[in-house]
Chains A and B, each alone.
With several copies, the nearest count.
Chain A
Amino acid sequence: MGELKLMKGNEAVAEAAIRAGADGYFGYPITPQSEIMEYLMTEKPYETTGMVVLQAESEVAAINMVYGGAACGRMVMTSSSSPGISLKMEGISYLAGAELPAVIVNVVRGGPGLGTIQPSQSDYFQATKGGGHGDYRMYVLAPASVQEMSDFVKIGFEMAFKYLNPVMILSDGAIGQMMEKVVLFDPIPRRTPEEIEKQCPWATTGKNANRKHNVITSLLLDSHEQEQHVFKLRDKYERMQKEDVKFEKIQCDDAEFLFVAYGSSARICQKAVDIARAQGIKVGLFRPITLFPFPSEELLKLSSQIKGILSVEMSLGQMIEDIKLAVECKIPVNHFGRTGGVIHSPGEVFEALKSTYLGG
């Protein structure tokens, strides 16, 4: 077993990046995620593993640095919080268009606008539907613990390289700021330049005599070529749906009602399940771990036994659309959630379930 530590979620992300053998991190400070870069700057992996850590002049610069690094086949990442992530939208669309692997962490705070620095889940649409332009998707992982903040960095890079697609870790201020025990995975050495060239024959590492020049671009002036390219992306997203959906079912076996929630909300719902069960109400929690690809099939399967779903999100209700589509509107799906940085308590969530489905 790996090393046991007490850490903030943000610190776990940073430590995991080093251990995953990341080649570079590029970021710009913003609450509530600045600890990621601060941790890296304190650990100075550039003196140990050789990982590059750079504070960029802006989020726009940071995401484009990620683009440059990824285009060299390097394992690179960035992190930010909501307003900063909005600024990265063009860059993310470029990454998707150019089919580049990268991990982007969003430690979500309440919006819109400057909003509040408190935790929120109101960037679900942006993350899952493509806040940037064009037909693209990110692979979106939603950690619900500090442990997962660490683990998902590693998985994120795996998925990014498997699909040559940007991966988003959609966290929130609560998970970023809280400390929990975390078992750190054992460090993986950074790949050598030779390994990178082998793994990423498409990377721009300098054209040698044995191959054609490599070009990283998302420009396809011929619209038929562009269409073929978009179809290729679509096939990739469908493959994600087939091969890499992740979710968790808690006390679902005999459940008659279901909370569907991710991230912090899922933690809260877990406690709400306990409260409900203590009162003899058969509730389960279905936690999507990948928000895209959404675990639609599993949820549909489960829905046959379910009388009603409460989608619990720290937002006005965004994931609820995916839930409805997943269960094909066959059972009632309702939303409950606080927003704007307010966090619902387990008790509130339980009360919402009761008042929605059990006549108060």
Chain B
Amino acid sequence: MDIKDIIKPENIVYQKTKLFTEKPLSYCPGCGHGTAHRMLLEVLEEMNIQDKTVGIAPVGCSVLAYEFLDIDMQQAAHGRAPAVATAVKRLMPDKFVFTYQGDGDLAAIGTAETIHACNRGENFTMIFINNGIYGMTGGQMAPTTLPGMRASTCPFGRDTEIMGNPLKITELLAQLPGVYYVTRQAVHTPNAVRKTKKALRIAFENQKLKKGISFVEIVSNCNSGWKMTPNQSNKWMEDNMFPFYPLGDIKVPQLEKV
């Protein structure tokens, strides 16, 4: 059978969702931000809530998310997305609201806003891209940088004596009663991507049910910041990030009930 017989509109089994704008993604080649965006949009598309969704972009590489996601979006000051989203959701409780933040944004400068939005049990979805580094500003140490891992502000590796241990903010948040669903996923393999999508779907369905915060961490590479090729960085992530940030559900209310 000839290829051109396969490449016909009726045979399409996968294509980029229409919820992307026309703008090419500004992310570095191989960066997980793009995949995370795509899964998010696929969920919005499947739930048919594009017109009811407001997203909050952070300051970080994904500050430009609003250029790519064809939904109404706000760009929040560094670390303040949860505060911004709090107002958005409270003022428009019938909309779907999400934040999308990096590890510097969510777990360093935004710690107070993150903890308190979670503690208040605001009814929105938080998406947390943990790449263990400050991507946008050129690869500085993040709260989640691993011990011994190099970054531009710890060029000899994170020295936990001086710089402290990496912060597992996700595990902390899971303990707050206002937080309903917490999971940690990845987007570097087809399987991981599928699971991430499922998690995002649950997170948005929870919002419909007014369950409080649903928190989806996505461990991702920052191949530029890590100074590796994309595939190297994904391998490194499996070998080094996952042992410290194990993938899987952290708080699943269904299970709790059992």
Chain A residues at the B interface, C-beta cutoff of 8 Å: 23-24, 26, 28-31, 34, 37-38, 41-42, 44, 46, 52, 54-62, 64-69, 71-72, 74, 76, 83, 90-91, 94, 98, 113-114, 193, 204-209, 213-219
Contacts and interface: CB of A to CB of B under 8 A. Distances in A.
B90 interface: yes
B21 interface: yes
Given A65-B84, A67-B84, A29 B140 contact: yes
Given A58-B109, A58-B112, A217-B66, A65 B87 contact: yes
Nearest to B104: A29
Contacts of B66: 213, 215, 217
A29 B137 contact: yes
Given A61-B80, A61-B116, A207-B70, A68 B56 contact: yes
A57 B140 CA distance: 12
Contact of B87 (A57, A66, A98): A66
Contacts of B67: 215
A244 to B, nearest CB: 27
Given A29-B153, A61-B113, A76-B87, A91 B77 contact: yes
A159 B115 CA distance: 35
Given A23-B91, A55-B153, A58-B112, A67 B76 contact: yes
Interface residues of B, number: 57
B73 A216 contact: yes
A26 B69 CA distance: 29
A204 B137 contact: no
Interface in B44-58: 50-54, 56-57
7 contacts: A26-B87, A34-B138, A71-B84, A72-B92, A74-B91, A76-B91, A113-B77
Interface in B80-133: 80, 83-88, 90-92, 95, 104, 108-109, 111-113, 115-116
B72 A206 contact: yes
B230 interface: no
A60 B86 CA distance: 13
B75 A28 contact: no
B72 A28 contact: no
B180 interface: no
B142 to A, nearest CB: 10
A41 B154 contact: yes
Contacts of A69: 87-88, 91
Contact of A65 (B86, B108, B137): B86
A204 B153 CA distance: 30
B132 to A, nearest CB: 14
> Interface centre among B59, B90, B111, B154, by most A CB within 10 Å?
B90
A29 B69 CA distance: 27
Q: Which of B56, B74, B136, B138 has the most CB of A within 10 A?
A: B74
A74 to B, nearest CB: 5
Contacts of B116: 56-57, 61
Nearest to B143: A57
Residue picked from B53, B54, B70, B83, most chain A C-beta under 10 Å: B83
Interface in B157-197: 162-163
Contacts of A62: 83
A68 B51 contact: no
A28 B21 CA distance: 33
Given A91-B77, A206-B53, A215-B72, A68 B137 contact: no
